Amino acid sequence: MQKGYDTAMQNHISSVPWNTLALWQEANTCLAVTIRRNQSVMTESRQLTKQIQHLLESIFPHMDRLCREACPDCADICCYRAWVWADFRDLLFLHLAGIPVPDQQLLCRQGARCRYGGPGGCRLDRIQRPFVCTWYLCPAQTRILGDQPAEKQRLLTTLQQIKSRRRQMETVFIRAVT
Ligand code: SF4
Ligand code: SF4
């Protein structure tokens, strides 16, 4: 596991949210009901969600290529030690976009392994994964991108755009429902 991934995540963790099946289902039911009851004021949140989805899908082929090049020879698979989970923005994005929400939170407790990681890689579709799983570029992938500065710049710019729209989506949603 790369130190950057650990550090990035540990900076804002105290415990894993919605880490039991009951809490996960309660959080998702609550969000679904809130969205349904506020359909009339969801337009701006949905527009931002569509933009996020479009931006994400534009970089997935690049992420797939980076994984094809870097992962087969990896001796320290990041997902086996990743200390990451779906946060509120991830759930909000999935609900507003109408994308199936994973059955459970990634981790049940501190120190657990992500339930979606397996020998063949992640079992979730890319669009279902928490954003942290998309924006994290490991050292091997960063090295590959080092030889492709234009592509690296495009990727980093798009990741920033997604981060910014995710913040906006959350702000607009909270304003609409409160
Ligand atoms: S993303 Fe990087 S650290 Fe993770 S499995 Fe692939 S090569 Fe290894
Ligand atoms: S959700 Fe997938 S990509 Fe993210 S940590 Fe788990 S196995 Fe890895």
Instruction: Report the C-alpha gap between 49 and 43 in whole angstroms.
Output: 10
Instruction: Report the C-alpha gap between 23 and 5 in whole angstroms.
Output: 26
Distinct helix (H) and strand (E) counts, the chain: 8, 2
The pLDDT value given to residue 14: 53
How confident is the model over 101-145, as pLDDT tens digits?
Answer: 999 999 998 889 999 998 889 999 999 999 999 999 999 999 999
The pLDDT value given to residue 105: 98
The pLDDT value given to residue 45: 98
Residue that has been written with the tokens 């729209």 in this structure: 165
The pLDDT value given to residue 111: 84
The pLDDT value given to residue 3: 39
Residue that has been written with the tokens 């407790």 in this structure: 109
Span from the CA of 1 to the centroid of ligand 1 (angstroms):
9
* Nearest Cα residue to 130 out of 26, 2, 1, 8: 8
The pLDDT value given to residue 12: 46
Q: Which ligand is nearest to the CA of 78?
A: 1
Q: Which two tokens stand for residue 113?
A: 């392994």
Q: pTM, whole model, 2 decimals?
A: 0.91
Residues of the chain with pLDDT under 70: 1-14
Candidate of 62, 126, 141, 145 to mutate for ligand 1, largest count of ligand atoms within 8 Å of Cβ: 141
Instruction: Report the C-alpha gap between 47 and 164 in whole angstroms.
Output: 14
| Atom 4 of ligand 2: nearest residue by CA position | 133
| Atom 6 of ligand 1: nearest residue by CA position | 71
Q: Delimit the domains of the chain by residue range.
A: 3-170
Q: Which residues line ligand 2 (CB under 6 A)?
A: 79, 82, 84, 106, 114, 116-117, 122, 124, 129, 133
